[in-house]
Amino acid sequence: MTTLRLLLSTTFAATLSLALGGCFYFPNTRDDEPVPAPAPYDDDTPTQVGQAEVFQGTLGNIGRFSKQSPELRISGGSTYGTVRIDAVDTTARWWAMTNLSFNGGLSHPALVPGAHLVFDGSRRSISGLSVSALGCSGPSRGNYTYDHEADSVVIDVLDGSRPDSRRMVFTSTYTHDSGRQVVQGSFEYDIR
């Protein structure tokens, strides 16, 4: 019975954490190993394929950081998608993460090459697509000291290296006790 209670409480805590927003991590993962991709949101589309190019900026107590080829996980379906980029430096003892949420999915008609989209307090949705960003950072994965939604997210969509791919460049801006902070990243992903 104890194992069942532990399983139920862990499942409840994870579900509540995701439902309420905020930073999240995969507890069975160490800083020196990649995080597994989350399960897809719909049954009709599996986890998408992609490659992160760069992730950099300032976030919370983490001063200027930059990581080439950071970890990338893309999941979702036709109506909702998430892109999560993690950067870890175990030597310097920092971890930063941005989770982009696409309400409308990554195959939304507004996400075409040449698109420049700005989501902020005055414009939350463009043609039925809304994008938000959660930024987290701290001394190690899951040990976060910063956990905030971005004030604005700017998305630029470019052609990918293949006909069935796109490249996305994003800038998320945060204003909190630490002042104004900016995170930038880019990744390529397969369109479905």
Taking the C-alpha atoms of residue 61 and residue 96, their distance in angstroms, rounded to an integer, is: 10
Taking the C-alpha atoms of residue 184 and residue 135, their distance in angstroms, rounded to an integer, is: 11
Taking the C-alpha atoms of residue 125 and residue 170, their distance in angstroms, rounded to an integer, is: 16
Residue 36 has pLDDT above 90, yes or no: no
Rounded to the nearest 10°, the torsion over CA 137, 158, 130, 26 is -30
pLDDT at 24: 53
Residue 55 has pLDDT above 50, yes or no: yes
pLDDT tens string 81-94: 999 999 999 899 99
Residue 4 binned pLDDT confidence (cut-offs 50, 70, 90): very low
Give the whole-number percent of the chain exceeding pLDDT 70: 74
Residue 182 has pLDDT above 50, yes or no: yes
pLDDT tens string 127-179: 999 999 999 999 998 888 999 999 999 999 999 999 889 999 999 999 977 68
Structural domain boundaries in the chain: 35-190
Q: How many helices (H) and strands (E) does the chain have?
A: 1, 11
Residue 192 sits at the vertex; the CA angle it makes with 20 and 43, to the nearest 5 degrees, is: 50
Residue 116 binned pLDDT confidence (cut-offs 50, 70, 90): very high
Task: Read off the amino acid at residue 159.
Answer: D
CATH topology of domain 35-190: Lipocalin (2.40.128)
**C-alpha count within 13 angstroms, C-beta hemisphere, residue 109:** 2
Taking the C-alpha atoms of residue 149 and residue 100, their distance in angstroms, rounded to an integer, is: 10
Specify the pTM.
Answer: 0.77
Tokens of 56: 């950099």
Cβ atoms within 10 A of the Cβ of 44, count? 10
| Residues ≥6 apart with Cβ < 8 Å to 43 | 77
pLDDT at 50: 84
pLDDT at 47: 59
Closest to 148 measured CA to CA, from 179, 120, 119, 176 = 176
pLDDT at 124: 84
Tokens of 4: 């069942």
